[in-house]
Structure formats: structure tokens, C-alpha cells
């Protein structure tokens, strides 16, 4: 394999194909549509299933049906479509089916616009539908990482019989950069022992999310929560740079982390002790990794392309250890590294260590 | 001495379970016909059913094949997902009128338009049974329900939707029939319709649907006998029986 110039949406689509995608169901929405268009051509070539559904509601329910067979199944959309899919996402979670959903985020709320944004963080990581559940959420920052995490998404979905959401923004979906695709995953489709395929020679199987007795539904919920806890223990992923001696740690995910990385490097060049912490799994949030940094840094600066969503997860981990400040742009406005450098400078300037060692910001302002 | 002869027994396709349906409800008949047809066609072991939301939500406890429970109205989409990855299996949905004709109208029409090789069993009893008897999209004008206490007034509440007629005019459908479960002669025709629908599916012809006019003695506020008469007098005039579409005139080739 060699590095090629790849467009994000198409790279994710081809990575899914090579990870053994058996069926794709989707509906057009910008900035995700190239993913659907690519698979419209690619899946039939390989004799695999592709359906353009009549709505996102139908698409996610087709995913639900196909996932009942244990095959590798995917859909993709953007915020407004993910909102419509929430019913199906909840059923998939309740029935413990493996499925992969790609959310190429755009500006909201409402129809919003088609520019890149990270405004679906709450929607995806907090629940993504009614009832108590959280999908596993992966957030790549480069096209290479999007390719790698697409393969991982299918593995995790299968391993945990779990909904996995690949959360990217319109920048990553639309941009091109060099990346290397993996070889084709060789796997023979087989019916897992829980899957539907016809009851010949065995008792019939039922896949459902209904538990009429409260005690039975509580037991089911406890089992789901235990699975989430095990996932939180094992699957936290993050990356970092310049963390060893950082006084200030910038935290960002996805394409905001690319801007933040430029800003951190520029600040380093000016002699500022700044580092970057980048969550790769947003759910589970990499709290084990961040908790190790919390006592060491003087302050944290969270940078997001939204009104401040991931910052809530950061604050849960950092607590009173250090001040946490926010810088963000909304509505699809691209933030520039210079803005983030300014936010870094301001945060460094405002941070003081008191006589008893406590770290304080001069003013709790949003930059 | 007369030799003992078995004239009636539980079909292999039905589980040995008491149903939760009300006394006199025709769901039991529709379940039995489905189970008999699946067995007689030799497809019970390779059939997957899709249950819907409504009184038949627990259909999977009674019909002895693999089953998945779908969200309200979405059964045809779920069936599409199943059929597209397992094209050699037989897939059917079992849906009521609230599920299919109201919240799930888009899903059933588009599954028909795509010519999905599935069978939709549509139980039309003109009312939301599970939630306690509200007006359905198939309630005839004048019908008194808990959400149309003065009777369905078309000026405010619109007219019933004849879904079979809609589906029959879509090119992707190959077999559409409306039958009734109110008397033995019609029940025999209903079974024949189910059989033809599944035969078309097995032959890979396209989308198939059988609408079965059914009762709801509890929410109609009638005795079982009266409810069967109500099907004849009130429902059949609004929903004429017959084979609306049979591509190839019933000559189904495997």
C-alpha cells in the first residue's frame, strides 16, 4: 500500500469497505454526501448491499435490521440527520446490536449551515437517543486517523455489541490529505450465536429492546452500564504533545485540535510552556489520562468549534485542581491559530499560583 | 368403532403459549394462518419476522420463527435491512393500522417502491388497540373512539386511508390483497392470500402485502360476535375486499 491523496468522506467510505462493510444505508446530507455517493458505486461493485433510504429514520432502521444478522453495517449523516436517527440509535443500543454511524458535523441548531462545526458533541456523547445509554464515540483529527478509527469502530462494535459513532466535522469530511488505506480485511460472513438467520435446527431467537417488567428492565440497564464501565476502563484513547513540562495544557479534539496544535507550536516557539492533550475517544472520555495531567498543569484551555461542550467532561476530571478556560467559535466559523495563540497568552497571563499553591485565574472570563 | 382422527391441532409454527390478546380478537386467527402458511411452504426455518409496536408487539412469543421487534412504524425499513443482507431468507412484517398507515406510511410505501422482496401482513382494525382505542388513520367516518368521542368528523379529522390501493398502484409491488377475518369463508381466502404473497416473495418477484380486516371487541365496545358483524357492515364498505394486484395472475414460478 502507498500513501494517496484522499478526501475525508471517501477515505472513511473505502476504509469501511476494507474493514468488511457488508451493508450501507444512508440519506444525502451535506457535508457527508460524498460518503454515500462513494458507496453507491463501490458496494454494488463488490456485490454488497447499498440502499439510499427515504429518510434518516428509515436508514437507521435498515441498519438495525441488517445488524440483527451480525453483519458489518454502517450509515452516515450530519447533525439534522443524526437527530432523526436518534430513535433507531436508541433501539440499537437497547437491543445491543453492533453498528457504526458516521456523523460529519455541521453548524446548528436547526437547519444551521453546512460549514464545519463540532456542535454535536453533547448529542452524540451524552446519549444520542432516549433512555440511558452512551455510544462509543471516536474522534479522528487527520484523514489517516479517520481511516484507522473506521476499522477500529467495526472491531469495537463487534467486540462489545455496541453502537460506535465516528464523529468528524465538515473540515475532515471535505478536505484532502495524503493517507494510506489498509489492506482488505479477510473475513467470512458468519452468523454469531445471538444473530437472526432463521431458526432451522435450533429454537427461535428474538431481538428486542422491550422489557415490560421494571425489575427486568433495570437488570438489562445494569448490564448495559456494566458494559459501559468495562469499556471506560479498557478503551480510553488520547494523544498529547509537549505535556512533560507544560504549564498550560490546551485540550481539543478533531479538526479543532489541528488548529490548536499549530497554536501550541507557535507558542512553544515563543518560549511558552504549552502542551496539547487530544481526546481520541470522546465517549468514554479519556479521564484516566487527563487525571494524571490535572495536578501538574497550572491551567487548562479547552478549544472547540462550538459553545463549549467537551469542556464539561474536562471540568469533571480537572475539578478544583486547576482553572479551566474556554475558547471557541460557532456557526461554522473557522478559528485561526493566531486566535488560539492569543487565548493561550491571555490564559498564561491570568494564571497565578497563590501562596498555598492553589492555581487561580485572575478573571473567569470566556475569551 | 370409529377410528380416532385429528381434525384440529396447534400448528408447528405456533408456540405452546397462551396469547395476551383479548377474548374474541382476530389476531389469533391471523397468527395461526401465518404459522400454517410458513409451515406448509416449508420456510418456517428460514423465515425472520419483524414485529411492530401495538397489540402485536409480542407476536414473536407466538409465531415460532426468528423475530426482531421494530420501532413504531419502521418494520418495513427493518425488514429491508434484513432482506438486503440475507436475500435467501423469507422476511415478513406484522403491523397494525396505527403502525403502518400513520407513523409508518413512508416506510411501507418506500419499501413497496423499492420492490423489497418482503411480505407485509397488515392488520386493519380501524383503531389503536394497545393504547386504549384512539382514532386510527383507517377509522371510517363517524366512528366513535376515545380521541373522536363525537365520531370521526371528516371535516376536522380527515378520511380513512386505503393503504392497499396506494401500494397496489406502485410499480414495485407484485401482490396486494385485502381480505377479512370475520367469517370462515373469508378466513380461507385470507390464508390463500398469505400463501400467494409468500410464494411471490420466495420467487423474488417484489413487494407483497396482505391487508386483513380485523376486529377489536374491547375498544370497539362490542361483543366478539357483534364485532364480526361490524367488520361486515362498517369496514368492508369502506375497505372493499379483493385481490388488488397479482402480477402474473397468481401463476407463481419458483
List of chain B residues whose C-beta atoms are within 8 Å of the C-beta of residue A190: none
Above 60 in pLDDT, residue A265?
Answer: yes
Q: Are B64 and A199 within 8 A, CB to CB?
A: yes
pLDDT tens-digit readout, B164-215: 999 999 999 999 999 999 999 999 999 999 999 999 999 999 999 999 999 9
Chain B 37-76, residues with CB within 8 Å of chain A CB atoms: 44-48, 50-51, 57, 60-61, 64-71, 74
Chain B 137-156, residues with CB within 8 Å of chain A CB atoms: none
Planar angle of CA B135, B140, B142, nearest 5 degrees: 85
**Same domain for A248 and A114:** no
Q: Are A54 and B69 within 8 A, CB to CB?
A: no
**Same domain for A210 and A290:** no
The bridge status of strand B127-128 relative to strand A163-169 is: unpaired
**What's the total number of domains in chain B?**
1
Above 90 in pLDDT, residue B118?
Answer: yes
Question: B34 CB near a chain A CB, below 8 Å?
Answer: no
- CA-based nearest distance A70→chain B, Å: 10
Above 60 in pLDDT, residue A365?
Answer: no
pLDDT of residue A362: 65
Partner residue opposite A49 with nearest CB, options B84, B107, B110: B84
Q: Are A207 and B64 within 8 A, CB to CB?
A: no
User: Which of the four pLDDT bands, split at 50, 70 and 90, describes residue A127?
Assistant: confident
Planar angle of CA A151, A208, A234, nearest 5 degrees: 40
CATH number at residue A348: 3.40.50.920
- CA-based nearest distance B23→chain A, Å: 22
Residue at a domain's end among A234, A257, A272? A234
pLDDT tens-digit readout, B123-165: 999 999 999 999 999 999 999 999 999 999 999 999 999 999 9
**Same domain for A149 and A57:** yes
How far apart CA A121 and CA A111 sit, in angstroms, is 17
Share of chain A above pLDDT 70, in %: 96
pLDDT of residue B251: 55
Above 80 in pLDDT, residue B104?
Answer: yes
Q: Are A62 and B77 within 8 A, CB to CB?
A: yes
Partner residue opposite A206 with nearest CB, options B67, B78, B110: B67
User: Which of the four pLDDT bands, split at 50, 70 and 90, describes residue A114?
Assistant: very high
Q: Are A66 and B82 within 8 A, CB to CB?
A: yes
List of chain A residues whose C-beta atoms are within 8 Å of the C-beta of residue B46: 198, 200
> Is residue A70 included in any domain, yes or no?
yes
Partner residue opposite A199 with nearest CB, options B50, B66, B80: B66
Q: Are A54 and B106 within 8 A, CB to CB?
A: yes
For A24, the 3-state DSSP assignment is: strand
User: Which of the four pLDDT bands, split at 50, 70 and 90, describes residue B254?
Assistant: very low
Top pLDDT among A129 and B251 is at A129
Q: Are A164 and A136 in contact (CB under 8 A)?
A: yes
Residue at a domain's end among A212, A234, A256? A234
Q: Are B74 and A57 within 8 A, CB to CB?
A: yes
Strand (E) or helix (H) holding A268:
helix A254-269
**Same domain for A67 and A176:** yes
- CA-based nearest distance A20→chain B, Å: 13
How far apart CA A362 and CA A367 sit, in angstroms, is 13
Mean pLDDT of chain A: 95
CATH number at residue A25: 3.40.50.970
Above 50 in pLDDT, residue B45?
Answer: yes
Q: Are B69 and A88 within 8 A, CB to CB?
A: no
Instruction: Give me B36's grid cell.
Output: 400454517
pLDDT of residue A212: 94
pLDDT tens-digit readout, A200-259: 999 999 999 999 999 999 999 999 999 999 999 999 999 999 999 999 999 999 999 999
> Is residue B18 included in any domain, yes or no?
no
pLDDT of residue A352: 78
> Is residue B56 included in any domain, yes or no?
yes
pLDDT of residue A187: 81
**Same domain for A246 and A206:** no
The nearest alpha carbon in chain B to A61 belongs to B78
**Same domain for A296 and A220:** no
> Is residue A185 included in any domain, yes or no?
yes
Section B62-87 average pLDDT = 98
User: Which of the four pLDDT bands, split at 50, 70 and 90, describes residue A269?
Assistant: very high
Residue A325: how many CB atoms within 10 A of its CB? 23
**Same domain for A320 and A205:** no
> Is residue A367 included in any domain, yes or no?
no
User: Which of A44, A45, A77, A46 has the alpha carbon at shortest distance from A60?
Assistant: A77
List of chain B residues whose C-beta atoms are within 8 Å of the C-beta of residue A88: 71, 74
CATH number at residue B205: 3.40.50.970
In the A/B pair of chains, how many CB contacts fall below 8 A?
129
**Same domain for A221 and A349:** no
> Is residue B21 included in any domain, yes or no?
no
Question: A23 CB near a chain B CB, below 8 Å?
Answer: yes
Residue A54: how many CB atoms within 10 A of its CB? 17
Chain B 100-129, residues with CB within 8 Å of chain A CB atoms: 106-107, 110, 114
How far apart CA B217 and CA A231 sit, in angstroms, is 50
Instruction: Give me A142's grid cell.
Output: 487527520
- CA-based nearest distance B83→chain A, Å: 8
Question: A208 CB near a chain B CB, below 8 Å?
Answer: yes
**Same domain for A188 and A170:** yes
Task: Give per-residue burial for A117-137: e unless 16+ CB within 10 Å, then b.
Answer: bbbbbebbbebbbeeebbbbb
Above 70 in pLDDT, residue A142?
Answer: yes
> Is residue B17 included in any domain, yes or no?
no
How far apart CA A210 and CA A36 sit, in angstroms, is 32
> Is residue B11 included in any domain, yes or no?
no
Q: How far apart are the first and last CA of chain A?
A: 45
pLDDT of residue A191: 87
Residues 6+ apart with CB under 8 A from B40: B195
How far apart CA B119 and CA B167 sit, in angstroms, is 12
Name which of A201-210, A312-321, B41-50, B241-250 the model is least confident about. B241-250
Q: What is the ipTM of this complex?
A: 0.95
For B78, the 3-state DSSP assignment is: helix
**What's the total number of domains in chain A?**
2
Section A293-314 average pLDDT = 96
Q: What secondary structure letter does DSSP report for A106?
A: B
> Is residue A366 included in any domain, yes or no?
no
**Same domain for A287 and A210:** no
Q: Are A68 and B68 within 8 A, CB to CB?
A: yes
Section B72-93 average pLDDT = 98
The nearest alpha carbon in chain B to A23 belongs to B85
Phi-psi map region of B146: left, alpha, beta (phi>0 left; psi -120 to 50 alpha): alpha
Expressed as residue numbers, the domain containing A172 is 3-234
User: Which of the four pLDDT bands, split at 50, 70 and 90, describes residue B2?
Assistant: confident
Residue at a domain's end among A205, A234, A263? A234
List of chain A residues whose C-beta atoms are within 8 Å of the C-beta of residue B118: none
| Burial class (CB within 10 angstroms; exposed 0-12, middle 13-18, buried 19+) of A52 | middle
Among B83, B86, B99, B105, the strongest candidate for a mutation testing the A interface, having the largest count of A CBs within 10 A, is B86
Among A58, A87, A101, the strongest candidate for a mutation testing the B interface, having the largest count of B CBs within 10 A, is A58
Residues 6+ apart with CB under 8 A from A71: A22, A23, A189, B85
Instruction: Give me B48's grid cell.
Output: 425472520
User: Which of A107, A103, A171 has the alpha carbon at shortest distance from A135?
Assistant: A103
pLDDT tens-digit readout, A181-210: 999 998 887 889 999 999 999 999 999 999
Expressed as residue numbers, the domain containing B85 is 27-139+147-246
pLDDT of residue B133: 96
**Same domain for A212 and A82:** yes
Q: Are B130 and B216 in contact (CB under 8 A)?
A: no
Amino acid at each position: 500500500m502507498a500513501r494517496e491523496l484522499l478526501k475525508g468522506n471517501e477515505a472513511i467510505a473505502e476504509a469501511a469497505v476494507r474493514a468488511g462493510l457488508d451493508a450501507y444505508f444512508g440519506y444525502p446530507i451535506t457535508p457527508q454526501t460524498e460518503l454515500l455517493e462513494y458507496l453507491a458505486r463501490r458496494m454494488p461493485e463488490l456485490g454488497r448491499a447499498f440502499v439510499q433510504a427515504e429518510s434518516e429514520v428509515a436508514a437507521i432502521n435498515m441498519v438495525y435490521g441488517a445488524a440483527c444478522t451480525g453483519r458489518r453495517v454502517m450509515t452516515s449523516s450530519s447533525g439534522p440527520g443524526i437527530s432523526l436517527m436518534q430513535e433507531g440509535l436508541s433501539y440499537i443500543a437497547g437491543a445491543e446490536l453492533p453498528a457504526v454511524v458516521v456523523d460529519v458535523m455541521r453548524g446548528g441548531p436547526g437547519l444551521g449551515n453546512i460549514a464545519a462545526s463540532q456542535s454535536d458533541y453533547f448529542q452524540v456523547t451524552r446519549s444520542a437517543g432516549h433512555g440511558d445509554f452512551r455510544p462509543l464515540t471516536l474522534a479522528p483529527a487527520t484523514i489517516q486517523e479517520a481511516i484507522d478509527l473506521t476499522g477500529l469502530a467495526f472491531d469495537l462494535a463487534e467486540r462489545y455489541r455496541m453502537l460506535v459513532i465516528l464523529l468528524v466535522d465538515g473540515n475532515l469530511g471535505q478536505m484532502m490529505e495524503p493517507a494510506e488505506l489498509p489492506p482488505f480485511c479477510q473475513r467470512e460472513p458468519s452468523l454469531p450465536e445471538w444473530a437472526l438467520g432463521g431458526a432451522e435446527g435450533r429454537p427461535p431467537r428474538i431481538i428486542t429492546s422491550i422489557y415490560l417488567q421494571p425489575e427486568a428492565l433495570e437488570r438489562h440497564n445494569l448490564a448495559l452500564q456494566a458494559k459501559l464501565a468495562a469499556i471506560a476502563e479498557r478503551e480510553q484513547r488520547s494523544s498529547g504533545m509537549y505535556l512533560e513540562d507544560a504549564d498550560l495544557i490546551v485540550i481539543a479534539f478533531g479538526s479543532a485540535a489541528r488548529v490548536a496544535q499549530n497554536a501550541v507550536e507557535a507558542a512553544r516557539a515563543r518560549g511558552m510552556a504549552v502542551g496539547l492533550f487530544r481526546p481520541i475517544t470522546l465517549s468514554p472520555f479519556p479521564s484516566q489520562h487527563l487525571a494524571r495531567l490535572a495536578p501538574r498543569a497550572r491551567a487548562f484551555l479547552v478549544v472547540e468549534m462550538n459553545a463549549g461542550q467537551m469542556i464539561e467532561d474536562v471540568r469533571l476530571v480537572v475539578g478544583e485542581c486547576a482553572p479551566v478556560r474556554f475558547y471557541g467559535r460557532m456557526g461554522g466559523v473557522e478559528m485561526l491559530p493566531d486566535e488560539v495563540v492569543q487565548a493561550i497568552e491571555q490564559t498564561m497571563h491570568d494564571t497565578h499560583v497563590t501562596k498555598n499553591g492553589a492555581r487561580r485565574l485572575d478573571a473567569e472570563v470566556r475569551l | 368403532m370409529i377410528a380416532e382422527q385429528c381434525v384440529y391441532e396447534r400448528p408447528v409454527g405456533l408456540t405452546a403459549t397462551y396469547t395476551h390478546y383479548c377474548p374474541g380478537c382476530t389476531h389469533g386467527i391471523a397468527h395461526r394462518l401465518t404459522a400454517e402458511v410458513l409451515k406448509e411452504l416449508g420456510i418456517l426455518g428460514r423465515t425472520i419476522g419483524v414485529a411492530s409496536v401495538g397489540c402485536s408487539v409480542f407476536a414473536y412469543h407466538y409465531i415460532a420463527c426468528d423475530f426482531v421487534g421494530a420501532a413504531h412504524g419502521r418494520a418495513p425499513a427493518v425488514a429491508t435491512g434484513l432482506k438486503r443482507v440475507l436475500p435467501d431468507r423469507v422476511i415478513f412484517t406484522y403491523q397494525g393500522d396505527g403502525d403502518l398507515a400513520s407513523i409508518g406510511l413512508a416506510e411501507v410505501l418506500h419499501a413497496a417502491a423499492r420492490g423489497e422482496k418482503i411480505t407485509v401482513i397488515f392488520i386493519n382494525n380501524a383503531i389503536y388497540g394497545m393504547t386504549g382505542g384512539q382514532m386510527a388513520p383507517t377509522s371510517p367516518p363517524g366512528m366513535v373512539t376515545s380521541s373522536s368521542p363525537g365520531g370521526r368528523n371528516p371535516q376536522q379529522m380527515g378520511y380513512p386511508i386505503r393503504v392497499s390501493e396506494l401500494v397496489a398502484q406502485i410499480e414495485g409491488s407484485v401482490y396486494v390483497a385485502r381480505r377479512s377475518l370475520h367469517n370462515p369463508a373469508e378466513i380461507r381466502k385470507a390464508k390463500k392470500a398469505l400463501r400467494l404473497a409468500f410464494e411471490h416473495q420466495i420467487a423474488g418477484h417484489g413487494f407483497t402485502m396482505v391487508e386483513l380486516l380485523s376486529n377489536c371487541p374491547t375498544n370497539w365496545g362490542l361483543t366478539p360476535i357483534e364485532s364480526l358483524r361490524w367488520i361486515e357492515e362498517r369496514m368492508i364498505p369502506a375497505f372493499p375486499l379483493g385481490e388488488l394486484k397479482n402480477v402474473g395472475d397468481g401463476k407463481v414460478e419458483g
